[in-house]
Amino acid sequence: MNDYAEQAQLFKALAHPVRLQILDILRRGAECVCHMEAVLKKRQAYISQQLMTLRDAGLVDSRKDGLNVFYFLVDPDALLPLLEIALGPLEDASRHQLRECVCPHCEAVVVAQN
Amino acid sequence: MNDYAEQAQLFKALAHPVRLQILDILRRGAECVCHMEAVLKKRQAYISQQLMTLRDAGLVDSRKDGLNVFYFLVDPDALLPLLEIALGPLEDASRHQLRECVCPHCEAVVVAQN
DNA sequence: ATACTATATTCAATATTAGGAATATGGAAT
DNA sequence: ATTCCATATTCCTAATATTGAATATAGTAT
């Protein structure tokens, strides 16, 4: 596979609004699937599919943590500049600062910790 | 169309090896279709199709100059940084310095000028 | 063991894209 | 006006992608 084909594959993975939004979440740090479910307001199976596409493209990977599976960028150094161009710079105000999910399922956990 | 969808459209246009190669040519300056024909070694109709896709995506535009149609980047300032990340920096050695085509059809013209 | 929960996979209908062959267009030259 | 040439478009089929519905899995808690 030559360079152009390789890059085309990368862009193909990026060429989807939901996947872009997932990457926009993940560039702020690792997040579990249920979090994305809450943010994207899409069914879990659908998100899982898009995550699989991103994983197949080598952009993200996952690790299991208790009940949840956390996804993260495989190579932030390579991807973040591209995402900055595509999605604009990261603004502090827009960051999800919680390491835990803020989705309905996970929120209880956070609250319980305070 | 929200921001993610818009960006996804852009990436979709980039998600093709031939189109990337065309953009790699055009980031060095405007070129005629016959030039791309010579560089890409693809049939003219096929190149024309890919150019149409790029034009529809708003990435390139064309101007007629005599018999030839020259294509160029619509917004180099926006696109060049993205292409640098995708295709690497522009090297002087790799530039097509001729304003005329170097394809078989055009080479004669260049030679005649010397 | 059972039941629940988070996530993953499979399947199927539909939509889109790739890329070739044939043909059209429109300007220039004669 | 006709021919020629560069480029554009249309049409078609195979391959691939999208997305929803249903179902599977695997780990946890009881």
Interface size, chain A vs chain B, as Cβ–Cβ contacts under 8 Å: 69
- Find the nucleotide nearest A44 (Cα to C1′): C7
- Find the nucleotide nearest B62 (Cα to C1′): D7
Report how far residue B49's alpha carbon sits from residue B93's, in angstroms, rounded to the nearest whole number. Answer: 29
Q: Which residues of A touch B81 (CB under 8 A)?
A: 85
Element (H, E) at A18: helix A17-26
Q: Tell the burial category of B89 from Cβ atoms under 10 Å away from its Cβ (0-12, 13-18, 19+).
A: exposed
pLDDT score of A92: 62
Listed by start position, the domains of chain B span 3-113
Tell me the fold of B3-113.
Arc Repressor Mutant, subunit A (1.10.10)
**CA-angle at B51, arms to B46 and B54, nearest 5°:** 135
Give A59-78 pLDDT, tens digit per residue.
999 888 878 888 999 999 99
Comparing CA positions, the residue from B43, B53, B63 lying closest to residue B11 is B53
Q: Which residues pair with A63 in a beta bridge?
A: A70
A84 close to B (CB below 8 A): no
Q: With a cut of 70, say whether residue B73 has pLDDT above it.
A: yes
B81 close to A (CB below 8 A): yes
The residue with tokens 């998100």 is A47
Q: Provide the shortest C-alpha distance from residue A70 to chain B (in Å).
A: 22
Q: What percent of chain B has pLDDT over 90?
A: 47
Give B5-52 pLDDT, tens digit per residue.
889 999 999 999 999 999 999 998 888 898 898 888 888 899 999 999
Nearest to B82 among A3, A18, A85 (CB): A85
